[in-house]
Chain A
Amino acid sequence: MDSKLIKEQEIKRNINNAFRSAEVTVVRRRRISVRFRAGILPAFISYLKEYMGFVHLVMISCVDWLEDNQFELVYHLWSYEEHIHAMIKIRLDRDNAQIKSLSSLWPHAETYEREIHEMFGVDFEGHPGLTDLILEDWSDLPPMRRDFDTRAFVAETFEWRKGREDAQDVRQTISARYGETIPEFKKDK
């Protein structure tokens, strides 16, 4: 097993030589995971991009750890030379979620950051335009936060059609509104 992970172990050594505080784990073949602190993230990512060959930002995702009162940002990077997928995991304080934007390194990071900003409320410093991406005129809590109560929001905003909650035939209410009879179907023999 270990003989197959030579590339990964070498990358782990190199990262630890440059940034001692990075906690690198080799997850499996072609996949490493790095825990890092949020403060000097752009320096760390640009080191990986310039010197370690992780030139492709695959995506940025966000996890809401409500119990720890933290957000976890995961930056997925890919190296074409080594064929290794690196996941850079950053924990942020949930009440004051702020991090530097990566839009100077990869222009397409802007889109992911806009989405995370609107769905979780993370603030990206230095982003050229943190405007709405998918939602429009949203004034409530960011909807992907775990403390956003979707069902209460739906019950408050929308009106249910009768029959939905107790699994009754909704055709009854539709036919009552439009004043028409429900067609009867022949039962199966």
Chain B
Amino acid sequence: MNDDLDRQNNNIIANWARKHSLWVLAYGTGCGAIEVPPTMTSRYDAERFGITGMATPRQADVLLITGYLAIKTLKRVIRTYEQMQAPKYVIGFGSCTINGGMYWDSYNTIKRLDDYIPVDIFINGCMPRPEGVIDGFIKLQERIARGQAKGWQHYQENLDWYRANQKKVIKNWTMPDYNW
């Protein structure tokens, strides 16, 4: 199984195609969602890098976690992430996803995003400007081309660890258990 995943990940031609067509799920969790429209529209025009929006998780490649994540939202994010088709990439956006940011002592926002879902790229800043966002996307494209953006593979292999972390903060677990 793992050899199969590795082979998928290291396919040079597939990676070249993937990196030039990143469909970002239009799902904003925090205040960072306000930086996405200028990134996508005419001034910064992320579409020249092949980055564009998608309305449904089943056809999206990139999940942008834009800012703080409440526990209530985390449940929806996990559900969304698990619906996306592999290969899928996660960008942690803003300092809240890195160490809690300005919500470091808040009772209902998580402090470390990479404990709950695998993150391929962190963009720091509060908030990062559209230049920073585009820079993060280009870094992600480089990692995809090198076959290093394998957070989704890490998630499948360490599902128990992620599940334990997720169930620690989500008290009433009502989500389906997928079998991969």
Contact = CB atoms under 8 A, between A and B. Distances in A.
Interface of A: 134-137, 139, 143, 148, 150-151, 153-154, 157-161, 163-164, 170-171, 174, 177
B138 to A, nearest CB: 13
A134 B70 CA distance: 10
A163 B111 CA distance: 13
Given A154-B106, A160-B99, 12 more contacts: A137-B172, A158-B100, A158-B112, A159-B112, A159-B115, A160-B112, A161-B100, A161-B112, A163-B99, A164-B99, A170-B98, A174-B98
B160 interface: no
A164 B108 contact: no
B172 A136 contact: yes
B107 A153 contact: yes
A158 B111 contact: yes
Interface in B84-128: 98-100, 104-108, 110-112, 114-115, 122, 124
B107 A154 contact: yes
Which bucket holds chain B's interface residue count? 20 to 34
11 contacts: A135-B108, A136-B71, A143-B108, A158-B110, A158-B112, A159-B115, A160-B99, A161-B111, A164-B100, A164-B104, A170-B98
Contacts of B122: 174
Contacts of B108: 135, 143
Contacts of B98: 161, 170, 174
A154 B106 CA distance: 7
Nearest to B100: A164
